Amino acid sequence: MSDEQQQVRVRVEALAPGFAAQAAEWAARLGLPLAGEAEFALQLGDAGLQLVDLGPQAPGPVRVDLVEGAAAHRRKFGGGSGQMIAKAVGVQGGIRPRVLDATAGLGRDAFVLASLGCSMTLIERQPLVAALLEDGLARAQGDFEVAPIIARMRLLTGNAIALMSEWQGEAPQVVYLDPMFPHRDKSALVKKEMRLFRPLVGDDLDAPALLKAALGLASHRVVVKRPRKAPIIEGAKPSYSLEGKSSRYDIYPLKKLEA
């Protein structure tokens, strides 16, 4: 168990007897206990895997749902290739780049890009967040409409800087970064998740090293998502930015994307 997980004390719970064996498997994989005092619980039930803060007045559980809710709404009505994230990574005409999302989190941005036809590799380094994402991807494979999108998404768990530095095989055309940052989107959903995850994940204090590794790996461009008024990441300077209401995309072009 990592120091971070030990400090915040996470236990795994089965929400019904039928999930006990699977919960025990997750506990063994993550090095977490199945009982005892804890501040957080990784729970397994009918709706899949979810993380919940056990404290008073805590926000509700967080899980990855790529079939219903916000993901479905954005897939159907989000603006397609006209979305700012699509423009930032270079989706246009016949261009659907191979993208590495090196800070995958709960997979929302990667899912949007995969739904537009991009081939996605995802890296998530926090084991609990990666577990939620793995579970969400597995459940979404069972949905007729969403399964072809999930087929374009591959998840790796580990340190993105190390994985990018030791990359094997064809390099991604685009590396996409969205480092954890103290001042984020103020939507209710994101605020709930930030409150839950910040004690577990913390901020990405190694963002400059992450950017350097991304620039060393990407064949065509690096894209960094930032809160709109946040400073650029220390290191190389972006050539230009796309700015929205609450966030912006800093673009580091290396080579022109072509169909």
pLDDT score, position 189? 52
Pair (144, 225) in one structural domain: yes
Is residue 79 domain-shared with residue 27, that is, in the same domain?
A: no
Residues 156 and 246 reside in one and the same domain: yes
Which residues lie below 8 Å from residue 194, measured CB to CB, with a gap of 6+? 184
Q: If you write DSSP's letter for every residue of 211-249 in order, what string do you get?
A: HHHHHHH-SSEEEEEEETTSPPPSSSPPSEEEE-SSEEE
Asked if residue 58 belongs to a domain, the reply is no
Which CATH number characterizes residue 187's domain?
3.40.50.150
- Which residues does the annotation place in the binding site for S-adenosyl-L-methionine? 108-109, 124-125, 178
As for how many domains the chain has, the answer is 2
Same domain, 109 and 234: yes
Predicted pLDDT at 183:
47
Residue 259 falls inside a structural domain: no
Reported pTM? 0.91
Q: Supply the pLDDT for residue 2.
A: 47
- 10 and 98 housed in the same domain: no
Which segments are annotated as binding site? 108-109, 124-125, 178
Range of the domain at 193: 69-253
**pLDDT digits (tens), the chain, 259 positions:** 444 444 569 999 999 999 999 999 999 999 999 999 999 999 999 999 999 999 888 888 999 999 998 888 888 887 788 899 999 999 999 999 999 999 999 999 999 999 999 999 999 999 999 999 999 999 999 999 999 999 999 999 999 999 999 999 999 999 999 987 654 455 555 567 777 777 777 666 789 999 999 999 999 999 999 999 999 999 999 999 999 998 999 999 999 999 8
Both 112 and 147 in one domain: the answer is: yes
CA-to-CA distance for 115 and 99, rounded, in angstroms? 13
